[in-house]
Amino acid sequence: MEFIQYFSEVFTPINLMILIFGTIGGLLLGATPGLSPTMAVALLIPFTFQMEPASSLIMLGAVYTSTVAGGAVSGILVNIPGAPANIATIMDGHPMARQGRAIEALHYCFISSLVGGVIGVLLLIFFTPPLAELALKFGPSELFWISIFGVTIIASLGGGSILKGLIAGGVGLWLSTIGYNPVLGEERFVFSEHLAGGIHVIAALIGLFAIPQVLSLVSSAGSPPGKGKLAELRSHSVLKSFSYNIRRVKALVTGTVVGSVIGIIPGAGGQIAGLVAYDQTRKMSKDPSAFGKGEPDGVIAAESANNAMVGPSLVPLLTLGIPGSPTAAVLLGGLLINGLFPGPDLFTVHGAVTWTFIDSLLVGQVFMMIFGLMIARYSVFVTRIPNHLMAAAVIVLAIFGTYSVQNSISDVVVMLVLGILMYYAARIGFSAAPLVLGLILGQLTETNFLQGRMIAGDEVWSYFLTGPINQIVIALCCLSIGYSIYNERKQIVKRRQEARA
């Protein structure tokens, strides 16, 4: 219960101010496509040089928490996820916005983020030692199967046709192999100099989601605002959202559990947490067909998952120096620069700083929700922006966001080309989500397979197929595939019956 005594540290005027500004800034940065949580935290590190250790960590922690949630804002309102972690959020978040329920969707997003986030941080506070042990058990073979599990979900994210989902996912997996082999360093599929560094996930994310959006905004530029974009925004009381949100126990629990578990696994990251939680919630729902058409449960599951991940991703970081997510990796730099070395010392010798930091994460979740709900109120202005101005603003953000990731004009070219291709692909029924996820999972699968293969040597089969975690995840993969086939058959039978009737 040591953490309780340090709450007063969080509420000193200076720390409180840093926490509030960090949270608001993080929400805005997160809502900007291209400024992913990782980027935002990396950009802020130099500003912490002159700060007290506790204050600098409070700022980095606040930004980490709130950028993850902020990424949902642009996703829900304009169908452009702020970061890979928010892809699952837009599946139902944006359809809700189209029905004029944007404010409601944003309410669920921030309330669920709070629930997931707080539980995630509580896990960090109470279960760090056993969770750290668990984190170390995930080697290349385990991570390989987890990414395969992600692959089994891709196809069903297409919204409509499984076949188109599979094709898009396959193309995504292939795109991930462009550039250097992540382990052996050989170059593959580099047809143009622009592809020499491979396709960056953020460039693809922005291109595939933002550019088709811009093109369709332009094509409907003459029509009055609101038409073809978002229906007139309906206001929604926060209290009503609260009471509805809290009663969606199944979606909340699924999201939080999945997010926490995946957060602990070093290297899996938030993008998969949201995706898996979304998929599980849909599979367990009484009416899976409602998903993708504006089902609040989809938003609740995805957002509780990607914020639940934040706390547990710090477990291996704080105890072992192993970051659970790319953002946590940058946060490690923030710790080291303050002379805080991960390990047991962090909770004893440097306990004051560490516990203040962890407490600020808890308080930060509450601030994030409050400010998030305030932003939701003003989101009505976004819907009033005329289409041509919106298109211009999005294209500017897309180009700057992409360029800023690696200061590379090649990324911008890749982003634009992918985006234009996606615009036409979308017209024949393909969707962007399976493509981006293929790209993300492809890198994860390949790296871990190759490393596992090198470690295993002659014993490839036994290395990948034995061990309790491997077998559990393999079983999950089989269940996931089996369920998809069963469900698809059921749908076909149902359609036939309807056709006969």
Q: Give the residues across from 188 on adjacent strands.
A: 179
Round to whole Å and give the CA distance between 62 and 194.
Answer: 35
Extended beta strands in 40-116, E state: none
Task: Supply the minimum distance, in Å, between the C-beta of residue 325 and another protein.
Answer: 11
Tokens of 276: 């898996």
DSSP tally for the chain: helices H, then strands E: 22, 2
- Would you count residue 330 as binding another protein (CB under 8 A)? yes
Binding segment for another protein among 339-347, 372-380, 384-392, 395-403 (CB under 8 A)?
339-347
Q: What does the per-residue mask of binding to another protein show for 200-229, with x meaning CB under 8 A?
A: ------------------------------
* Crossing angle of helices 296-308 and 53-78, rounded to 10°: 160
Q: Which of 34, 89, 110, 474 lies closest to 275, judged by CA?
A: 89
Measured from the CB atom, is 45 or 474 closer to another protein? 45
Round to whole Å and give the CA distance between 152 and 326.
Answer: 23
Q: Which of 117, 13, 16, 115 lies closest to 58, judged by CA?
A: 16
Q: What does the per-residue mask of binding to another protein show for 250-269, with x meaning CB under 8 A?
A: ----------------xx--
| Cβ contacts of 12 within 8 Å, gap of 6 or more | none
Of 13, 185, 222, 468, which one interacts with another protein (CB under 8 A)? 185
Binding segment for another protein among 70-78, 325-333, 428-436, 469-477 (CB under 8 A)?
325-333
Of 211, 251, 305, 329, which one interacts with another protein (CB under 8 A)? 329
Q: Which of 465, 463, 435 lies closest to 151, judged by CA?
A: 435
Task: Supply the minimum distance, in Å, between the C-beta of residue 139 and another protein.
Answer: 4
Round to whole Å and give the CA distance between 98 and 52.
Answer: 45
Q: Which of 309, 322, 298 lies closest to 261, judged by CA?
A: 309
Q: Give the residues across from 187 on adjacent strands.
A: 180
Count of residues engaged in binding another protein, rule: CB under 8 A: 50
Binding segment for another protein among 99-107, 246-254, 340-348, 490-498 (CB under 8 A)?
340-348
Round to whole Å and give the CA distance between 352 and 339.
Answer: 14
> Site residues for another protein, window 408-467 (CB under 8 A)?
408, 447, 451, 454-455, 457
Q: Which of 310, 318, 305, 309 lies closest to 347, judged by CA?
A: 318
Binding segment for another protein among 157-165, 196-204, 275-283, 479-487 (CB under 8 A)?
196-204
Of 159, 226, 228, 343, which one interacts with another protein (CB under 8 A)? 343
Binding segment for another protein among 66-74, 194-202, 372-380, 467-475 (CB under 8 A)?
194-202
The CB density around residue 188, as the number of other CB atoms within 10 Å, is: 11
Binding segment for another protein among 73-81, 149-157, 169-177, 328-336 (CB under 8 A)?
328-336
What three-state secondary structure class fits 349? Answer: coil
Binding segment for another protein among 16-24, 149-157, 327-335, 480-488 (CB under 8 A)?
327-335
Of 140, 165, 419, 434, which one interacts with another protein (CB under 8 A)? 140
- Would you count residue 349 as binding another protein (CB under 8 A)? no
Task: Supply the minimum distance, in Å, between the C-beta of residue 147 and another protein.
Answer: 14
Measured from the CB atom, is 108 or 144 closer to another protein? 144
> Site residues for another protein, window 29-58 (CB under 8 A)?
38-39, 41-43, 45-46, 49
Of 170, 182, 226, 228, which one interacts with another protein (CB under 8 A)? 182
* Crossing angle of helices 102-136 and 238-247, rounded to 10°: 40
The dihedral sign for the CA sequence 480, 486, 492, 497? negative
- Would you count residue 183 as binding another protein (CB under 8 A)? yes
| Contact by Cβ (8 Å): 309, 272 | no
The CB density around residue 465, as the number of other CB atoms within 10 Å, is: 12
Of 176, 313, 338, 354, which one interacts with another protein (CB under 8 A)? 338
Tokens of 39: 């980027």
- Would you count residue 13 as binding another protein (CB under 8 A)? no
Q: Which residue type sits at 447?
A: T
The CB density around residue 343, as the number of other CB atoms within 10 Å, is: 14
- Would you count residue 187 as binding another protein (CB under 8 A)? yes
Task: Supply the minimum distance, in Å, between the C-beta of residue 23 and another protein.
Answer: 21
Task: Supply the minimum distance, in Å, between the C-beta of residue 368 and another protein.
Answer: 22
Binding segment for another protein among 179-187, 298-306, 391-399, 479-487 (CB under 8 A)?
179-187
Q: Which residues bind another protein (CB under 8 A)?
A: 38-39, 41-43, 45-46, 49, 136-140, 179-180, 182-185, 187, 196-198, 266-267, 320-323, 329-333, 336-339, 341-344, 406-408, 447, 451, 454-455, 457
